[in-house]
Every structure is written in C-alpha cells, then in structure tokens.
Amino acid sequence: MWLTGFDVPCLSCLYLDKPLKAHTLMQTIARANRVAEGKSNGLIIDYIGIVKALRKALADYTANVGGRNTDPTIDKAVLIKRVLEVIAAAEDFLYRKGFLLNDLVEAKDFTKLALLQEAANAVSDSRESKKQYMTYGNELIRMMKYLDRSNISDGDRKRKDAVIAIFDELRKKKKHIDTVDLMVQINGILNDYILIERISGSQSMAKRFDISKIDFDLLRREFAKAKKKNLMLTELSELIQARLDEMLKVNPQRIDYYERYQKIIEDYNKEQDRANIEKVFMELMDLANSMNQEEQRYVREGFTSDEELSLYDMLFDENLSKEDIKKIKKVAVELLDKIKSKIAELDHWTDKAETQAKIEVLIKDILWMGLPDCYSDDAIYTYKQRIFEYVYMRYKAMA
C-alpha cells in the first residue's frame, strides 16, 4: 500500500513483511493509529522482527523526558500476567457481591443464561459497582486482542470468557427507544425479571397485570417477587434516561421530568437497601407513566404533532385568558409550518449569518402579528430568541 501521501483512518490492522526503518517505519505504523468511529486501537502484525528498528526510530524521533529511552513494546509474559490479574480481580469482585464465577464456568444451556443474569444483577447494585466491573471487562477485551487463545490455560480461558460474558450481559440495551411505546418496553423488562407462578392445580400461568393501566399496589407485590431487582431497576433507569433524552430534544420545557428522574436516582444512590430499591422502582414506574401521558399531551391540546406543542409550551404563560391561549396555539401551528417551509428553501441555512437572519426575522414577524396584546415588545424579543435557538438546534439536520 502507499505509505506517504495516503490516509485511511478506518485502517486498524497492518501487516509488516519487509524491512523498514527510521521515519518510514514511524509513518507506516502510524497508518493504523488514526482515529475513526468504532475503532479503539491499531494492531501491527510483524512478520520479520521490526522491534529493534522501532526502538531506534522512537529514540530518534520522539522527545524523551529526562533522557530515558522509550520502549513501546510489552513483553508477552507481562501481558499474560496482567490478564490473569484482571481475571482474578473480576472473580474476587463477583465473590464479594455474592456470586461465584466458577458456577457460571461450569453451567450449561439455560442454567448458564440464568446465571449470567444473576451475575449482572449482583454487580448492578449501584452505578459505581457496575462501572467497576465494566472496567475489568473492557481491559480484558483490549488485552486479549494481543494474545492467542493458546497463550493462557484452558481453565483461565474459560474464566476469562465468563467474565466477558457477564460484561456483554451488562452492555445489552433495550432497542427502538425512539419509536416503541415506553410502557410496552417496560412490560418487556417486567416479563424478563418478574416471577410468574403456575396456579395451583392448573396448567395455566397466573394472569399478568396490564402495564398500560398500572395498579401500583399490584405492581409493588409483583416487584417483590422479582429475582433480579438490581438488574431490573438498572434497565428501567436506563430506558427512562434514553426516553427522557429524546423527549427533551423535542421539547426543552420538559426539563422538570429530567430533574425528577435525577432526584430519584440521587436518593437511591444515597441509601441502597431492599425497602429503598422497591420504593425507587415504584417512583420510576410512576415517572414513566407520567412521561407516557406527557408524550400524548399534544393530542389533548388539539395539535397534530409534538413539535407544535413544543412551540406552544415556549409561548405559554399561566396568566393567559382562554382567548389568548387559542391565539398562541394558532401562532405555534403557523410558526412550525412556515419555519419548516422556509428552511426547505434555504441551502445549509445554519452555515451563513444571512440565512439565519431570514429565519430569525420570520419568527419575529409571526410573533409580532399573532401574539395577544398582553405580550410586551421585550417579551416578544425574548420569545423570538428562545424559539430561534430551539429551531437552530432542532432543525439543523434539515439544512
């Protein structure tokens, strides 16, 4: 391949099969070190023994603090030792959480799947705990890229695979956050973790409650039967966090929902006992239910989209009369329609001050003509600025 005047950021693996030295060698290995999305490191496969030349090149072309030589290589024995240390540290961490890694190593089929969830639940008792375990998994995966399977014993390899399997279980995400109804996804989490028992003397399963019509007393009793409360709470928390992020992108006025979520999580992190985890679960479910209702509010307000509701919320004031509220609803609908139409006419409207000014003037004119008389000139200017900033961030991709 070309070694000068050529750049491929996505290149992650480079094979060396001919002698190289000095700046040519430095430039060559740097080809695998470019930053690219989804790339964590570069890998050099050396077929001819280039380490000596690499050490000399680094000594010549890098600044060494205190005159010390720079050696980028790590002896394989040292790397193997570190791998075994991380496996042992992860195993000890799990043991202190009440889980035996060897049980997972020896398990088969469905038992192994159940133990994976049990282990993930054990390390999910707090965000710090989960983060610590994820550090072990990340380091193991990174180091094993530079080793062959034969470099560690069969027993250590099985322990390593078990540690990484738990890591992968923790990384699982609920999909389609932006398109699937929130309560349907929560129902999926409940189905995964809540015990459903057979009715005595019957082949049928006990009836599951309807999550879309929440009976909180029933929900509390069902949660009490859950085997993996920590994991269930973590998934529910992450699901709500992702949905909140989407809701705030559409309507920044919903910040109170995010603040409520943050308060619940902060209180949970302060005191993590059984009674508290059940209380936090119920608070998160209540919040999720409120969020679901909020996302349908645009229909109740007579709008055709959540976007129209967002502009209405920005213009709303508690002291408005019914007649004034009707006017600002009309202004919100007109604003969205005309802003989108104008943006469609402009090429990369956020790139130039001139095209940005056209949108800003359009917003000002519509507000000036349509808002009720109770809105002062200063208030109109403030709302114009607020709406322009929202439009700039929300519809930048339409440019």
DSSP class per residue in 64-80? PGGGPPP-----HHHHH
Greatest mean pLDDT range, 21-30, 50-59, 111-120: 111-120
What is d(CA 34, CA 12) in angstroms, rounded to the nearest whole number? Answer: 8
Question: 165 and 116 in contact (C-beta within 8 Å)?
Answer: yes
Q: What is the pTM of this model?
A: 0.54
Question: 57 and 21 in contact (C-beta within 8 Å)?
Answer: yes
Tell me which residue has tokens 């190593």. Answer: 105
Tokens, residue 167: 């890591």
pLDDT, greater one: 308 or 12 = 308
pLDDT digits (tens, 9 = 90+) for 320-331: 999 999 999 999
pLDDT, greater one: 338 or 210 = 338
Note the pLDDT of residue 34: 79
Going by C-alpha positions, the residue among 226, 115, 243 that lies closest to residue 184 is: 243
- Please name the residues in contact with 86: beta carbons below 8 A apart, sequence gap of 6 or more: 136, 139, 140, 143, 163
Largest CA distance in the chain: 83
Note the pLDDT of residue 225: 65
Q: What is the mean pLDDT of the chain?
A: 79
Note the pLDDT of residue 67: 52
Give the 3-state secondary structure of residue 16: strand
Give the 3-state secondary structure of residue 44: strand
